[in-house]
Amino acid sequence: MNLASLLRLNRTIRVIGFDDAPFQRRRGSRVAISGIVCANTRFEGMIWGYVRQDGWNATDTICKLLIGSKFLPQLHILLLDGIAFGGFNIVDLPLLSQRLTLPCVSVMRHIPNLSAMETALRRLPQPEKRLKILQRAGTIHAFPPFYFQVCGETPEITTAVLQRLTDCGNVPEALRLAHLIGAAVIQGESGKSA
């Protein structure tokens, strides 16, 4: 069933939200990522993996964690906390959506400073390739309190889904939990904000 029908019929939406855990800034080091599965806002499961800081494997890692897992057939949408993990290991949003056959959304807390991002990217190997992947994610949509890029769904449906998946505040519960759990596993306790 598609997201528009799930919303219209007031059915449960199963989501997975990915965030990276805190990490030491050393190029090429391993960065943990947590994927939290929720039914609407209720926690249902978790997956854990690793990407390279400033690397190229974020998209493949997410696909490897999900393809063949018990969770993928249940999911209706995938959320990312931002478009990159471990610094600038950028997720290819349209490729991720295509490979998983799911709407994929990069959620941001505010509109990013794109010129500052480009300046930072230019300090890394293959900046043009990184910029191209970043641009493939498409338009940043502003539906306050949500700012996002989406592949595989309309911005309007995505906004309604994000509202359904958010318990309190401005962050969908799956992403809030991914942030808290990642921090707790790495640092021994969850951080102050999610």
93/116 Cα distance (integer angstroms) = 21
55: confidence class by pLDDT, cuts 50, 70, 90 = very high
Domain assignment present for 191: no
Closest C-alpha to 105, from 115, 113, 94: 94
Domain assignment present for 181: yes
Domain assignment present for 65: yes
Share of the chain above pLDDT 90, in %: 84
Domain assignment present for 193: no
Q: Is the dihedral of CA 194, 132, 62, 97 positive or negative?
A: positive
**Residue 187 has what pLDDT?**
81
Share of the chain above pLDDT 70, in %: 98
CATH of the domain at 134: 3.30.2170.10
Q: What is the pTM of this model?
A: 0.95
Which value, to the nearest 10 degrees, does the dihedral of the CA atoms of residues 81, 129, 49, 86 take?
-60
Q: Which two tokens stand for residue 61?
A: 């890692």
193: confidence class by pLDDT, cuts 50, 70, 90 = low
Domain assignment present for 190: no
Question: Region 168-187: what's the mean pLDDT?
Answer: 92
pLDDT tens digits along 104-151:
999 999 998 988 999 999 999 999 999 999 999 999 999 999 999 999
The string of DSSP letters for 2-65 reads: -HHHHHHTT---EEEEEEEPP----TT-EEEEEEEEEETTEEEEEEEEEEETT-S-HHHHHHHH
DSSP secondary structure code for residue 122 in this structure: T
Domain assignment present for 144: yes
Alpha carbon distances (Å) from 23 to 11, 29, 189: 37, 9, 14
Domain assignment present for 32: yes
**Residue 24 has what pLDDT?**
84
- For residues 125 and 192, the model is more confident at 125
Q: Is the dihedral of CA 109, 115, 116, 120 positive or negative?
A: positive
Q: Please count the structural domains in the chain.
A: 1
Range of the domain at 176: 3-185
Give the lowest-confidence range in 18-27, 31-40, 74-83, 100-109: 18-27
